[in-house]
Structure 1
Amino acid sequence: MPQSQTQIAVIGAGPAGLMAAEVLAQGGAAVTVYDGMPSAGRKFLMAGRGGLNLTHSETLPSFLTRYGKAAPQLTAAIEAFPPERLRAWSEALGQPTFVGSSGRVFPQAFKASPLLRAWLRRLDAMGVQFKLRHHWTGWDESGQLRFQTPDGAIAIEARATMLALGGASWPRLGSDAAWVEMLAAKGVAISPLKPANCGFTVAWSDIFRDRFEGQPLKSVALSFGPRTVRGEAIVTRTGIEGGAIYALSADLRDVILGSGQATLHIALRPDLETDALIKRLSAPKAKQSFSNWLRKAAQLSPVGIGLLQEAAVASGSSLSSLPPENLAGLINAVPVQLNGVAPIARAISTAGGIAFDELDPGFMLRRLPSTFAAGEMLDWEAPTGGYLLQASFATGAAAGKGALKWLESQASGS
């Protein structure tokens, strides 16, 4: 079995791995990045397909609350590499940023590819080596890293290893979660991986599904429990997804996984006061069809009216027989029964991962000295809006610093 040596092996060429590689190389380490894909940053490019949302412009205290129960574990890393620093880093690569109307931060080029190309050029100039089409398969008996390559199996000796292999969403882009079994076999505690920022399944009627698949619900308000989110959602053939759904997905997912279902409420006209809506719905229908009258009176889209019809059928009532007060109440609280979570492979991100208790302050695995972990492998989740990439970059930088500090301690014998 052929063997080679490298000082630091970074496994995973996504944002966390590449940022760790940059920090390590800046610190003087010889770095080789390994990835199973034919090119680096596959999922990063996918994330930027509709506009690369790097981070968010809100104040740091508010920003940190987006990480929920993982905020205490992520705070130090994000404070050391906050949104302002990420924006400066992007600008230094020739990709200045701007703040959108929603507070989200994007590169002016709006795409991921120019930023990634510039970043890879910088890493190349720093001496970072890349070994692509190298699938990590664990360790051999002597502790060397094993990889399956187009030329067969190889073993690599490294002074330290940085794991940045992502979660389990979009596995065709490289994050297939094969690392879970490998680390669990070493005794590392891993919270079960679950879909995050995901869609949900709904038992739509055939008529509704065939007519409205792919149609957006615009300017709606979605409510679940005490939370209400404004935005958009999209009807899919099997259910519902979209930005406003993703914002509620953690709470919805946990309830559905526990009880098998959850009821989401959708306000189709959230900006219209109830009294004003009732007044509109009290207008005579004349000779109009009910749907046409409803479209004009309440200014509802066809998919919104279809959603109302679905709710009426499910409750065994007739939409046209409802008095204005009840109809107004339904329009701004349409119940949608969610009966399942969309597959993790289709989720935007992943919840669960390596428990933070398994890591020391430098992001080194306590059970595996010299092995570090960063990014989506760790047990955290966040909504879309720039929070996902920010934490990936920040934990990559923090783990890189942790690895440098550990190398220094080994060299000094402390």
Structure 2
Amino acid sequence: MDDCDALVVGGGPAGLMAAEALLDAGRGVLLVDHKPSLARKFLMAGKSGLNLTKREELPDFRAAYGDAAAWLAPMLDALPPDGIEAWAEGLGQEVFAGSTGRVFPRAMKASPLLRAWLARLTDKGLETRTRWRWTGGMAPFRFDTPEGARDIAPRVAVLALGGASWRRLGSDGAWADWLGRDGVALAPFAPANVGVGVHWSAHMTRHFGAPLKNIALSAGALRSRGEAVISKTGLEGGGLYPLSPALREGAALRIDLMPDLDVATLARRLARMRGKDSQSNRLRKALKLPPAAQALLMECARPLPDAPEALARLVKALTIPHDGLRPMDEAISTAGGIRQGALDAGLMLRAHPGVFAAGEMLDWEAPTGGYLLTACLATGLWAGRHAAGWAPPDQDRAAAR
């Protein structure tokens, strides 16, 4: 058996941030990950532009975390959106905000930021091991490694193993079985930030891949403004993802295809074309409705009403029959994980003193748009700082004497 000062299990953003907090406190840190390289999901997310955080008032930012907002509030206060920007710039990565407030590195990629971060951590003394898979146990921690089984007995540990989506990149959720058996209360995993399944008729085939732009979406009490894409399996996209909690509960999905105009205005425009053209021409000429939006309207509401006001109401609140959320491994993130009650205020497992948890292992969810990465980094920093200051009770008593 090997011992170490501080062990971090998981090399994604939460784990790396926890490791840096421990290093900054003077702790010796060993970070292990079961993949051949670190932060694979982080790198994949950055291929299309790494959305670091979002510039908005902190109360509005916190509200994106729904039921977990109050729990996460002190962590988000300790590393708020402007703190994320400062962290990235401290790594030599200039950032900018788009028109919606979303913040990106000027390079629009994750790889330069990750290289700079790993170099800084190495300079601070971080030791890393890859292809080390945790197989359970915390006294000691047991790992399968390329050199065979290894047991590690750390003085303190931080778990940052991710949720249960994107398995090929490392987040397989296998840890839930081990922690559950060890008395840690868990909420079941569920898909978040994922599309909905829809059984399309054959006439929708030519619209696969077509975007639905400038639409508003709703499900239950949740509302969103953005875009969606018609796919072979249904609908997906950033405008849909904030509705995941309601859609997961079976709420109806409705789309406003023309959110900037009211029913009365649309009805007047349609009435002017009445009797002169087919319905498809009326929708195209009177409303300038794009082909994909027209196809969606015909798919979900045939036969369309002839009365202008009734047709206008459909355009403003089109119900999409769906089969629920797509499978978890298609999801960008997951809900569920370690329940708040299983952790103390410093994110230490109550059932396992000296073991902390961070990132998507925790039972919170948020839409895309910078919220996911911010919370992973913030909880990683919080867990790392509290782990750095933790000592076993007998050690505390000895210090008091």
Determine if the TM-score, normalized by the shorter chain, exceeds 0.5: yes
2:102–2:370: 8 Å Cα contact kept in structure 1?
yes
**Structure 1 partner of 2:338:** 354
Cα deviation, residue 370, structure 1: 1.4
Structure 2: runs of 5 or more not aligned: none
Deviations 1:264-285 (A, max 9, x none): 1111111123232222212347
Find the partner of 2:61 among 63, 66, 72: 63
- 1:9 equivalent among 3, 7, 10: 7
The 8 Å contact of residues 301 and 318 in structure 2, kept in 1 or not, is answered as no
Question: Is the 1:197–1:250 contact (alpha carbons within 8 Å) kept by the matching residues of 2?
Answer: no
- Counterpart of 2:186? 190
Output the amino acid matched with 1:348.
I
Aligned residues: 398
Measured in 2, the distance between the counterparts of 1:285 and 1:197 equals 41
> Identity rate of aligned residues, in percent?
52
Corresponding residue of 2:128: 130
TM-superposed deviation, 1:35: 0.4
SS in 1 for 2:391: helix
Partner Cα distance (2:30, 2:47) in 1: 27
Which residue does 2:375 correspond to in 1? 391
Mapped partners of 1:76, 1:269: distance in 2 = 39
1:263 aligns with 2:240: no
TM-score normalised by length of structure 1: 0.92
1:364 to 342, 348, 362: 348
Equivalent position of 1:51 in the other structure: 49
Aligned to 1:242: 237
Structure 1, gaps ≥5 residues long: 257-261
> Contact conserved, 2:220 with 2:252, CA < 8 A, in 1?
no
Deviations for 1:120-149, whole angstroms, at most 9, x for unmatched residues? 000010110110011111127xx2211112
Shift of 1:246: 0.4
Deviation readout 1:277-297 (Å, 9 max, x if unpaired): 222212347775542342122
C-alpha separation in 1, matches of 2:59 and 2:252? 31
Q: 2:218 aligns with which of 223, 226, 239?
A: 223
Q: Matched residue of 1:407: which SS? A: coil
Which amino acid in structure 2 is aligned with residue 160 of structure 1?
Answer: V
Residue aligning to 1:259: none
1:401 alignment partner in structure 2? 385
Q: Decide which moves more: 169-178 or 65-74.
A: 65-74
Match of 2:284 in 1: 295
The answer to whether the Cα contact below 8 Å between 2:354 and 2:392 also exists between their aligned partners in 1 is no
Give the whole-Å Cα distance in 2 for the aligned partners of 1:235 and 1:150. 44
- Aligned counterpart for 2:168 among listed residues 165, 172, 193: 172
SS in 2 for 1:338: coil
Partner-residue secondary structure (3-state), 2:321? strand
How far apart are the structure 1 equivalents of 2:344 and 2:252? 40
Partners of 2:45 and 2:307 in 1: how far apart? 46
For residue 199 of structure 1, report the CA deviation from its aligned partner.
Answer: 1.1
The one of 207, 228, 236 equivalent to 1:233 is 228
**1:312 partner letter:** A
Partner in structure 2 of residue 345 of structure 1: 329
CA contact (8 A) 1:16 1:396 kept: yes
1:362, 1:399 within 8 Å by CA — same for their partners in 2? Answer: yes
- Give the aligned partner of residue 17 of structure 2: 19
Is structure 2 residue 208 aligned with structure 1 residue 213? yes
Shift of 1:374: 0.6
The 8 Å contact of residues 81 and 394 in structure 1, kept in 2 or not, is answered as yes
1:411 CA drift (Å): 4.6
Paired with 1:238 and 1:323, the residues of 2 have a C-alpha distance of 32
Question: Deviation above 4 Å: which 4+ runs of structure 1?
Answer: 285-289, 408-412
Q: With structure 2 as the length reference, what TM-score do the two structures score?
A: 0.95
Cα RMSD (Å) of the superposition?
Answer: 1.7
Shift of 1:152: 2.3
For 1:150 and 1:289, the matched residues in 2 are separated by 68
In structure 1, the residue matched to 2:117 is 119
Greater mean alpha carbon deviation, residues 144-153 or residues 158-167: 144-153
Greater displacement, 267-276 / 9-18: 267-276
From the superposition, tell whether residues 286 and 357 of structure 1 become closer, same or farther in structure 2 (CA, over 3 Å). closer
Q: Aligned with 1:47: secondary structure?
A: helix
Displacement, 1:225?
2.9
